[in-house]
């Protein structure tokens, strides 16, 4: 008998909300209902099985954190509810998760979304910060003096501890002037931003992967 023909999976199979069984150790989904397949814009379960979620990606980190929290609990039937920002799909969902055996006996994570209950969820500062940290797009925040006060993972993955002006090793904290080529350009940039509210500018910078 297939482990996916149990009452639990039969119930989830008929749900309108996405449901998945994650092999979190290997960064992949091993079962999904129709809504879960369509969530990732795949045509069939076989297509979804081929999708890999790399270690360190936003989704892999979120799934791993839930699994770790559940594994720390002595009660295997424990459920946990979390808001998860699936960066690759660009969607925020409230999900419930619980540990569930995989076919080979290892432990997986059964995750099912509750789209209806996600409506009206307040956008708390913690939720916003968590979403920004996991965005696959580099984002950095500078204070009015041009000092870097926050950089998400994607930004640090690109620049690491490389000075954007010289390409040499430096501390992760540097000023906007090093990105813009001097104190005066940085001052002008901040002044324009304060006057208009937004500024768009393209520049070539040193990254961990060379000049880009």
Domain segments of the chain as ranges: 3-123, 137-211
Q: Report the distance separating Cα 149 and Cα 91, nearest Å.
A: 27
Q: Does residue 101 contact residue 83 with C-beta atoms inside 8 Å? A: no
Residue 120 has pLDDT above 50, yes or no: no
Residue 34 has a pLDDT of: 94
- Give the percent of the chain with pLDDT over 70: 83
The region of weakest confidence among 63-72, 121-130, 177-186 is 121-130
Q: What is the mean pLDDT of the chain?
A: 81
Q: How confident is the model at residue 173 (pLDDT cuts 50, 70, 90)?
A: very low
Residue 147 has pLDDT above 90, yes or no: no
Residue 110 has pLDDT above 80, yes or no: yes
Residue 169 has pLDDT above 80, yes or no: no
Read off the pTM.
Answer: 0.59
Residue 165 has pLDDT above 70, yes or no: no
Q: How confident is the model at residue 109 (pLDDT cuts 50, 70, 90)?
A: very high
Residue 207 has pLDDT above 70, yes or no: yes
Q: Report the distance separating Cα 192 and Cα 187, nearest Å.
A: 9
Residue 117 has a pLDDT of: 46
Residue 127 has a pLDDT of: 63
CATH class of 3-123: alpha beta
């Amino acid at each position: 008998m297939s482990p996916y023909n149990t009452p639990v999976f039969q119930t989830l199979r008929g749900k309108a909300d996405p449901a998945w069984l994650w092999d979190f150790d290997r960064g992949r989904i091993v079962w999904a209902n129709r809504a879960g397949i369509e969530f990732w814009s795949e045509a069939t379960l076989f297509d979804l099985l081929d999708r890999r979620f790399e270690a360190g990606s936003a989704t892999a980190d979120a799934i791993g954190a839930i699994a770790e929290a559940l594994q720390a609990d002595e009660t295997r039937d424990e459920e946990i509810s979390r808001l998860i920002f699936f960066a690759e799909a660009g969607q925020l969902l409230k999900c419930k998760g619980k540990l569930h055996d995989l076919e080979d006996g290892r432990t997986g994570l059964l995750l099912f979304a509750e789209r209806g209950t996600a409506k009206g969820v307040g956008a708390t500062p913690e939720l916003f910060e968590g979403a920004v940290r996991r965005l696959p797009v580099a984002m950095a925040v500078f204070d009015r003096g041009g000092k870097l006060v926050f950089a998400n993972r994607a930004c640090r993955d690109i620049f690491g501890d490389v000075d954007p002006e010289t390409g040499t090793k430096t501390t992760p904290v540097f000023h906007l002037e090093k990105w813009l080529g001097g104190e005066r350009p940085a001052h002008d940039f901040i002044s324009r931003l304060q006057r208009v509210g937004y500024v768009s500018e393209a520049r070539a910078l040193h990254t961990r992967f060379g000049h880009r």
